[in-house]
Chains A and B, each alone.
Chain A
Amino acid sequence: MRIRITSIMVDNQEKALRFYTDVLGFQKKHDFPVGDYKWLTVVSPEGPKELELALEPNANPAGKTFQEAMFAQGIPVAAFEVDDIRYEYARLKARGVVFTGEPAKAGPVTIAVLSDTCGNLIQLYQPA
């Protein structure tokens, strides 16, 4: 058993692909049309290349309800590790990304939370 794919629900897969590649800097791995939707995954150029993040449509009402509730409560649905959170914060902010606050220490990590514009909050963290 191995962790190979994890997923994030998004309200629009095209918009999500633009955000996760053009803005965050991930790379598209798979893009297969499936009916009205796509099997769409991205990977980090910093690796590992085999670990994919699926950008899934939030078409199912159950998923949408969950997503909206998590967002409204300010709870991130995923966390991405960065080497330099101040740099990433400045880089993404300059690109118009919305953060809920400046990078802040939280125990053994420094975190910053951003909106992916697709209905999710994402936590960036830098280990101490």
Chain B
Amino acid sequence: MIVTRDTFRRLCRARDLLVEIPEERLSIAEIAQKIDVSPFHFIRQFQSLFGVTPHQYRIRSRLDRAKLLLATGEHSVTDVCMEVGFSSLGSFSDLFTRRIGTSPSAYQHQARVSVQVPGTLPQKLFPGCLSLMGCLPPTAFRNFREALLTTAR
């Protein structure tokens, strides 16, 4: 599939709208309408470009935001639930636990004990570029020369 420059721009705009958490959250159909695409084409094109449906993208971004707020430790679980656009604490906790594998409160606790410098994010939960390399076992890497020698044999 080829997306034209205009369609590409519209889909990126839709992505921004999906991440926004306004008072009156737009439905998927309303977002499609805002970018002048039929809901059917919107969902199909969005999934082709971003690998997930608009609904899945919205859920993921809300949970990502929730993880960030929980990790900073400045919000209660209830505050985070409201902040990311859930009206029911039960629904939020259930979804968070199913997708993230731990409850919001357990995640918050895990983040708190991981933070070594106040005001920073725990590396383990929010790894920066290539920082995961430092957590590998000693056998994970051979140096380049050893690898070349092995290849040459």
Contacts and interface: CB of A to CB of B under 8 A. Distances in A.
B135 A50 contact: no
Interface size class of A (residues with CB under 8 A): 35 or more
Interface size class of B (residues with CB under 8 A): 20 to 34
A115 B50 contact: yes
Given A59-B127, A117-B51, A71 B5 contact: no
B137 A32 contact: yes
Given A39-B135, A50-B148, A98 B48 contact: yes
B68 interface: yes
B40 interface: no
A50 B144 contact: yes
Query: Interface residues of B: mostly helix, strand, loop or mixed?
Result: helix
Interface stretch (B25-33, B80-88, B89-97, B118-126): B118-126
Contact of A30 (B12, B101, B129, B140): B140
B113 interface: no
A32 B124 contact: no
A34 B136 contact: yes
A103 B15 CA distance: 26
B117 interface: no
B51 A19 contact: yes
Contacts of B147: 49-50
A12 B51 contact: yes
Contacts of A19: 51
Interface in B22-71: 48-51, 60, 64, 68
B128 A36 contact: no
A61 B144 contact: no
Interface of A: 2, 4-5, 7, 9, 11-12, 15, 19, 30, 32, 34-39, 49-50, 54, 56-57, 59-64, 68, 71-72, 74, 93, 96-102, 115, 117-119
